[in-house]
Structure 1
Amino acid sequence: MTSDPYLSVKALTKYIKKKFDADPHLRDVYVKGELSNVKIHTSGHIYFTLKDNTSRLPAVMFAANARAVKFKPESGMTVLIRGDVSVYEASGQYQLYAQSMQPDGIGDYYLAFEQLKEKLSKEGFFNTAHKKPLPRFPEKIAIVTAPTGAAVRDIIITLNRRYPMAKITIFPTLVQGEQAVRSIVQSIQAANGSDFDVMIVGRGGGSIEDLWAFNEEAVARAIFDSQIPVISAVGHETDTTIADFVADLRAATPTAAAELAVPSRADLLDKVLNQQSGMYRVISNMLERDKTALRKLATSMPFAYPDRLYRPFIERVERAGDSLQREVFQHLNRSRERFTNLDRQLANRIPLQRIKQSQTDIAQLQKRLDQSAHITVNNNRMNLTSAIRTLDALSPLKLMERGYTIPYKDGMVVKSIQQVKAGDDLTVTMQDGVVEATVKNTIPKTEGEHTNG
């Protein structure tokens, strides 16, 4: 019976690991390379990739050795590392286990980053004067990022939670690879072809190579030329790109970008409620002051004795009537004297026939004058009497004597059923006192119905 010639993956991996561990050339190696995709774990372990122009080597430095490193490893740095190479059985890949690390200049990516940063800075791309302010209440938001992944999901969830009334438009964009720069520029330009209020440009975290499209000059110029305010949200909080410097506002993460783009609905509601409470207090104080003033007015001399309000007008009417009557009689007397003078003049100058005719005419005119004066006096007397009656009828006391009352709601005269509703408290002023009442119902007047006077 032959044995099974097949090995398990675990057995083969262990065999390979033993080969690595047994090779003396891999036990103590010195390697120089550029750091990439550096991740410092909360435990203190440092995970990174060591690379050069053609190759990449996964690496790890455990916390015990990392504590001896005097600087903070960052992507783009060129470092000198001493360690050993072995196989990580769980993934089946070999990696460098670093024991010590020393800086040795900067890598190509980092150098390119600094050179472009210096160039754009001299051109004024980072000046605060060019930063556009973000609108307080954006209605339309453009998102330039990959259509799938955690970044776009976090942005949409945060926007919908904080400010659901905003309209979100996603511009699907390549954010990694050779075509990423062109895709990002085209999406930014496409968003500027519409009336968006703010734009979020970014992606999730990754290595410096993954994020490099946002360090390209074409992307920086597209952001700078954007007429729409741009919030950059590239990578994690520790990642910084050229796009972050050029953008109108930089966010540490995509979620933070969404929070910066829109206000919080809850915060706005709190402000509205606080302002509403303040308005209620102000209005209540005003109403209380007005009520106090109204009570003072109601007990003041004119309203306590309403007959004194129209008494001066009655006196003026009576005096005007007397004056008018005197004027009429004086006018009549002057007219009579004039006619008498004319009659004498005619008697001396005109033949008898013309005198007689003139006498007849004068008699008729005299009669008509008397009639006109009488009519004028009567009409004025009637107008005077009517004016007195009208003033008397308009007296609030007279109205109340006929059974009319004046309803008040909150100190204001109620003139229409539209001003009250069932359950409202009314104060009804009558001739001899005040009645406090509650509205049971309101019945509108139907078409054709008349109110009895």
Structure 2
Amino acid sequence: MSSFDAAEAPTGAPEPRTYTVAQLTAGIRQALSDAFGGELWVEGEVRNLSRARSGHMYFDLVEPDPDGAHRQPEASVSVALFKFNRTRVEETLRRHGDMALEDGIKIRIQGELDFWPPRGTLRLRMTGIDPKFTLGDLEAQRLRVLEALRDEGLLTRNQAVPFPVAPLRIGLVTSKGSAAHHDFGNELEVSGLAWEVVLADTPVQGVDAPDAIAAAIRAVGHAGVDVMAVVRGGGARTDLLAFDSEIVARAIASAPVPVVTGIGHEIDRTIADDVAHEAQKTPTAAAAFIVAAARAHLEAAETTWTAIAGRAARSLGAAQHQLTMVSQVTARAVESRLHRADRRLQHHAGQIRELAEVRTRQEARRVDGWAAVVGHRAGAVVVDGRRRLEQTQSVLTGRALRAPRAASGELTNLEGRLGLLDPRAIMARGWSITRHGGRVVRDPASLAVGDELVTTLAEGELYSTVSEHR
């Protein structure tokens, strides 16, 4: 085993060059200048965008993972957009499609590589942007998503969900406390209707917004709401990118209840609007649409109840008129029967009086005959005969007197029986008359479940509905 001795090293070997830090950074800057020259164009996706109080803007321009399986990009470079260039860049984006720099958009920018020795960092100083590149990419993504949704039949799936007749329980997907949240709630409040709102608070802008919005839509869809509203206030076209995402579109298309969107301004149109049941221009318009649907149902209900009340009033009037007619007919019939009974009673009383008189005369004649026969008998026999005669006369007289009283009793009995036939007297004892459609109900089998009944009592009427037969 041998060891190395510096003294034995070849004396002619050159020493490796040692750089100072300043020399190294200067060499790096020169190498970058030689390799890339002055300004260059770079394309990538915006991440981690921030706006400084100084007016400068900073972000990372990344090369996304092509498979989309990882959040970590393949490559990244820091970008600085200083205030004096930022104004020009933002104006260019506004003039071309009302866009703005936001996380998640793809851009093609112009700038110069800058290596800053004090920090040993490399960054790209941005000086310009190609808006057509971003517009083309956004449109290409939009067309790709729309085509995929159309091929799967998702563009019209939510539109096939029946819209509820009284959507008073609303699921609201938006950013809590935002202008869209306030505008939507204010429109519901001024309507004066009794709403129940289930709010799903979610970010509506940024790289994480699509996943959060889709999760909120799925959660609200299982909260037992009648209808769902997805709303966001206006902004640049790039501010609405989350609502052009495929994951949000699929969540809306698969929602179990109708979805009403109100995203952006009057001119804005997103893929979320394309797949929703109803697309309104603004959050206020979305709320107004739901209010109109609920109010239409309530007005129809009021009209129906008014019609029912009118029909009930007419039926009640007809029944009252019929009852009056029946009462009058019954009263006349009772009065007629009383008159006939009175005439029969008077006739019977006359017959009884005549019979009594005839019997009295017959008995008187018989007594006279007996008196003549027994006139010759002794005084005791005469007295006895007179006593028997007096007894007979007393019996006959009693009979004659009792006959009118019996007839009068019969008349009173007939009057009492006629009084029992009076419907008012019958109902005063707890009986009632039940009618359906103006006809008296005598057999339960003639009725059906749901038929409306009117029951007349001694002191008023009751209204009921048939629920079952027994």
TM-score by length of 1: 0.46
TM-score by length of 2: 0.44
**Radius of gyration: which is bigger?**
2
